[in-house]
Amino acid sequence: MKVERLLSVYLLAVLAFSVIAPISAGATGTLQTDLPVEHASALLDKLTPEEKVGQLILVYFTGSTIDEQSQIYDLIVHHHIGGVALLASNDNFAAAPDTVSEAYRLISQLQAIEWQASQEPSISMPGGDQIKSTYIPLFIATSQEGDGYPNDQILHGLTPLPDLMSIGATWQPSLAGQVGSVAGQELSALGFNLYLGPSLDVLESPGALAGGGLGARVFGGDPYWVGEMGKAYITGLHTGSNGRMLVIAKHFPGRGSSDRPASQEVATIRKSLEQLKQIELAPFFVVTGNAPDPQSTADGLLVSHIRYQGFQGNIRATTRPVSFDSQALSQILLLPAFAAWRASEGLMVSDDLGSQAVRLFYDPGGQSFSARLVARDALLAGNDLLYMGNIVSSDAQDNYSTILRILEFFTQKYREDAAFAQRVDDAVMRILVAKYRVYDNFEPAMVTPPAEGLDALAASQAVTFEVARLSATLINPDVQDLGTVLPAPPDIQDYILFLTDIRPGRQCSTCPEEPMMAGDALQNVILRLYGPQAGGQVNDAHLTSYTFDDMASVLEGDSGNPALVSHLEVADWVVISMLEADPSKTQAVVLRRFLSERQDLLRNKRVVVFAFNAPYYLDATDISKVTAYYGLFSKSAPFLEVAALLLFQELTPAGALPVSVPGIGYDLLSATAPDPGQVIQLYLDLPPAPTPTTVPPGTPEPTATPYFREGDTVTVRTGVILDHNQHPVPDNTGVRFSLIQSGEGGVLQQVDATTVSGVAMASFSIERAGLLEIHAASDPAANSVVLQLDITSESVSVTVVAPTSTAEPASPTPEITPTSEETSLSPISKGYPGFGGWVTMVIFLGGLAYLALWLGGRLFSTRWGLRWAFCAILGGLLSYNYLALGLPGSAVWIKASGLAGILGVVILGAALGFAVGWLWAKAVSAPVKRSD
């Protein structure tokens, strides 16, 4: 029948369209589309070679004003550059109080210039014609790493966020997420859409020069925890910006083990490939192909100028940095996690191509630096977006003219070299996809945030205080000894002398100079909290502040600063506030010399040192000369307040060192190993015994009890295994489970497992009856509760035996679904229909539609049968898509009822559609066929 054929074609078309839902809902249960890829592909076909080449370039410029004569104006309007990086060192930001308002104005102006350029003919074609360029929003990039100058680009008008190491010292990824959310919300409100960070470098062996001087700009020294913190921080950036911020994690593949700053000279990391995978690369795996969801996935990776023995073999002076070595970078990106991420259009961004390290490598003699070749090598190595920095060729006048030559060279090569053109197209495609992921469509109203968003800035200091409170760490002595060396806080009779590192910084070259931390900053906080107006715990006449510069003068002899010497002689307390103590900094040398050479001025005094930066600069001898040494990690106002609370013993240090500190013998690898003093808890996951199908009247329902028999398999899991700092041990910590025949002492089975979120699981096959025991150990934690299984042919009893009479194991939970096994679950068990659900829907909906066609034809007419079939299809399809799109309640329903539940929902929807068809026929008084 023609009508039936038409219905069949329509049904197949509708069902083919509906397959998008189960495929895209996949593991997340939410609809995922490839619209950014589709839009980018369509746009790429329209671009000229000049426009494509321009998109590869990320530049910076000097100043905060733009007119039609500005070089940056020309690069945007006539050369179609991909983006602009704004930096304090280039005077892109104004002095307070106009810093954020002027930043918003500048960013809005940059995007407006790009929009205006697309409205006027600006591209010269080979025949001399002028055509309009295509409007593509600019990347507006910055790096705001926390803790003010020099890590932050904007020093005023935003929430003063902590640096990464202070977050790491809390050991709470949730706080990393909160800080990232504030950063994402505030920076996106200004119009930034490309965040260069966070750093996922692992500071495995810290020291003054470790990590190339990264200091406190890293989360810590354990790859697992760096990955967890980075994942949460990236999630916060994405959610805080409402998806309007691309996150470029750095410094890929990791430079935590380098021995010099990457900006000065190309460093070398001599580790094997396996070592790099376990340490440097591990955090990057977590935020790329192994990320659990799109929100925690980095949009791009910033490729550092470093050489890696594990990928590049024997390193020589001529060995290229990995950022310019296509073979080495390709080898890294072929690792499974990176390959999957790269296939999803992950973006590779070069580090500064104009850095001193790059210049020295390409032109050791300083005679013939070719920026064109540097940019070409970076692109061909695998970098998509080329961050030019202050790149200047030897034969060019300045950065601007150098970039013009690069653009001209690339355009010509695009037209002449098909392989180069393909590489450009591939890179531009990734750039366009990234921009479409930020903006659904390229419209000015979508790109420029509303000015009202500025009113919500600098309103989240509570987050910073919480980080300060939970990160404060007592480095030396041990907590149990603190009460001995400092039995009481300062009182009103005590004289307190403050020595503060006051290194200056400024927002711009013409802005007023300001200290990173004022010389009397801590004194003022203590007066506010404990002075005459706040309880009178201290006498303001007994408080005196000096700087490290004053300390330096004392080293010249007593006559260098007699006032400071006099105050030191009468002081009961000496409180030292130190910043980064890099040996290259004069202030660091002054402090260590003072502790060594003027012990006479510190004798019989309580000397308290607060490290408002990285905690690992002082050595064992330095630390032995102070009474107490605290790590605060950041220097903003909330951290100063916490320092005051610590000094007056109103706050207990809650943090733990996230990096090794050789000066006190603190090794992070040992600290994150299982605590040998703990008792590992064990729980059995057992199926309940079958209950009777009928129960006599008046008899209570029997309680389900654990049930298994000889030959069954039982699963045992640990409780959360803790490290020495009482945090969950890193993932992949080894745990050995043993099944023992009680009384005989023989080990029947052993299973080696690893932890996920601090918990390990193992399964045993019960091959004999009798009294069995299950133990677990995670070196060096050797003690666990013992699970005794008394198995007979008729019953089983489980007894939990503690290793000591004082241990009280927690009650086991009835069941657990281990994260490590989720990947083996079927789609339906995860809570979305999947392919099986789709097949079920096709079969039954097709059958129901045919039934509706037949019934309608019998009762009314073929035309009404066709209408009923369409109603049944529509009702069933709507019901199915409710499940496939993961709408509220759908996942719970599918998990509980499986395919039967999907079938029931489809039938219900089709029945409702059929009912609508029936009411429709009755409403229009369709003629009813009469049976003869």
Secondary structure of 170-210 in HEC code, one letter for each residue: HCCHHHHHHHHHHHHHHHHHHCCCEEEEEECCECCCCCCCH
Question: By mean pLDDT, which of 393-397, 598-602, 620-624, 767-771 is the weakest?
Answer: 767-771
Question: By mean pLDDT, which of 392-401, 484-493, 536-545, 879-888 is the weakest?
Answer: 879-888
DSSP string, 238-270: HHHTTT--EEEEEEET--TT-SS-TTTS-EEE-
Residue 69, Cβ density class (10 Å: 0-12 exposed, 13-18 middle, ≥19 buried): exposed
CA–CA distance, 401 with 370 (Å, rounded to integer): 13
Task: Write down the pLDDT at residue 240.
Answer: 97
DSSP string, 386-451: EE--S---TTSSSHHHHHHHHHHHHHHHHHH-HHHHHHHHHHHHHHHHHHHHH-SS--HHHHSPPG
Greater model confidence, 358 or 686: 358
Task: Write down the pLDDT at residue 342.
Answer: 96
Task: Write down the pLDDT at residue 849.
Answer: 73
CB 752 within 8 A of CB 771: no
Has residue 352 got a pLDDT over 60?
Answer: yes
- pLDDT band, very low/low/confident/very high, at 855 (cuts 50, 70, 90): confident
Task: Write down the pLDDT at residue 793.
Answer: 66
Q: What is the widest separation between alpha-carbon atoms in the chain? A: 127
CA–CA distance, 657 with 271 (Å, rounded to integer): 25
Q: What is the mean pLDDT of residues 320-346?
A: 95
**Alpha helices, DSSP H only, in 598-742?**
620-624, 637-647, 668-671
Over residues 172-230, the pLDDT tens digits come to: 999 999 999 999 999 999 999 999 999 999 998 876 555 567 889 999 999 999 999 99
CB 384 within 8 A of CB 349: yes
CB 197 within 8 A of CB 144: yes
- pLDDT band, very low/low/confident/very high, at 801 (cuts 50, 70, 90): confident
**Mean pLDDT comparison of 21-25, 261-265, 598-602, 843-847, highest-scoring range:** 598-602
Question: By mean pLDDT, which of 16-25, 171-180, 706-715, 844-853 is the weakest?
Answer: 16-25
Retrieve residue 912's tokens. 């409702």
Task: Write down the pLDDT at residue 409.
Answer: 97
- pLDDT band, very low/low/confident/very high, at 561 (cuts 50, 70, 90): confident
Q: What is the mean pLDDT of residues 316-322?
A: 91
Greater model confidence, 932 or 419: 419
Q: How many CB atoms lie within 10 A of CB 137?
A: 22
CB 801 within 8 A of CB 810: no
Residue 577 β-bridge partners: 500, 610
- Under the phi-then-psi rule, with left for phi > 0, alpha for psi from -120 to 50, and beta for the rest, what region is 741? beta
Q: What is the mean pLDDT of residues 695-724?
A: 70
Has residue 833 got a pLDDT over 70?
Answer: no
Over residues 881-891, the pLDDT tens digits come to: 766 665 666 65
Retrieve residue 235's tokens. 């999630």
Helix (H, G, I), strand (E, B), or coil: what is residue 741? Answer: strand
HEC readout, 620-655: HHHHHCCCEEEECCCCCHHHHHHHHHHHCCCCCCCC
CA–CA distance, 827 with 663 (Å, rounded to integer): 52
In degrees, rounded to 5, the angle at the alpha carbon of residue 386 between the alpha carbons of residues 250 and 272 is 45
Task: Write down the pLDDT at residue 922.
Answer: 66
Mention every residue, 6+ apart, whose C-beta is less than 8 A from residue 563: none
Q: In what helix (H) or strand (E) does residue 274 lie, and over which residues does it extend?
A: helix 273-278
CA–CA distance, 774 with 739 (Å, rounded to integer): 5
Quick one: which of 515, 542, 514 has its CA closest to 526?
542
**Mean pLDDT comparison of 2-6, 73-77, 738-742, highest-scoring range:** 73-77
Task: Write down the pLDDT at residue 743.
Answer: 74
Retrieve residue 625's tokens. 């000369």
Q: What is the mean pLDDT of residues 676-693?
A: 75
Q: What is the dihedral of CA 420, 426, 430, 431, to 10 degrees?
A: 30
Greater model confidence, 84 or 552: 84
In degrees, rounded to 5, the angle at the alpha carbon of residue 554 between the alpha carbons of residues 496 and 150 is 75
For the chain, count helices (H), then strands (E): 32, 28
Greater model confidence, 693 or 625: 625
Roughly how many angstroms between the first and final C-alpha of the chain, as a whole number?
Answer: 23
| Chain mean pLDDT for the chain | 85
Quick one: which of 108, 101, 106 has its CA closest to 90?
106
Task: Write down the pLDDT at residue 781.
Answer: 94
CB 185 within 8 A of CB 240: yes
Over residues 364-423, the pLDDT tens digits come to: 988 899 999 999 999 999 999 999 999 999 989 999 999 999 999 999 999 999 999 999
Greater model confidence, 444 or 405: 405
Residue 677, Cβ density class (10 Å: 0-12 exposed, 13-18 middle, ≥19 buried): exposed
In degrees, rounded to 5, the angle at the alpha carbon of residue 345 between the alpha carbons of residues 339 and 349 is 90
- pLDDT band, very low/low/confident/very high, at 752 (cuts 50, 70, 90): very high
Question: By mean pLDDT, which of 264-268, 381-385, 483-487, 575-579 is the weakest?
Answer: 264-268
Question: By mean pLDDT, which of 324-328, 390-394, 615-619, 916-920 is the weakest?
Answer: 916-920
Task: Write down the pLDDT at residue 107.
Answer: 97
- pLDDT band, very low/low/confident/very high, at 741 (cuts 50, 70, 90): confident
Retrieve residue 30's tokens. 């939410």
CB 385 within 8 A of CB 391: no
CA–CA distance, 730 with 746 (Å, rounded to integer): 31
Greater model confidence, 533 or 377: 377
Has residue 162 got a pLDDT over 90?
Answer: yes
- pLDDT band, very low/low/confident/very high, at 13 (cuts 50, 70, 90): very low
Q: What is the mean pLDDT of residues 316-323?
A: 92
Quick one: which of 890, 856, 893, 884 has its CA closest to 872?
856
Over residues 570-587, the pLDDT tens digits come to: 999 999 999 987 666 666
Q: What percent of the chain has pLDDT over 70?
A: 80
Task: Write down the pLDDT at residue 323.
Answer: 96
Q: What is the mean pLDDT of residues 445-461?
A: 91
Q: How many CB atoms lie within 10 A of CB 91?
A: 16
Mention every residue, 6+ apart, whose C-beta is less than 8 A from residue 637: 160, 461, 525
What angle separates helix 862-884 from helix 2-18, to the nearest 10 degrees? 10
Task: Write down the pLDDT at residue 687.
Answer: 59
Task: Write down the pLDDT at residue 211.
Answer: 53
Task: Write down the pLDDT at residue 611.
Answer: 96
Question: By mean pLDDT, which of 32-36, 280-284, 469-473 is the weakest?
Answer: 32-36
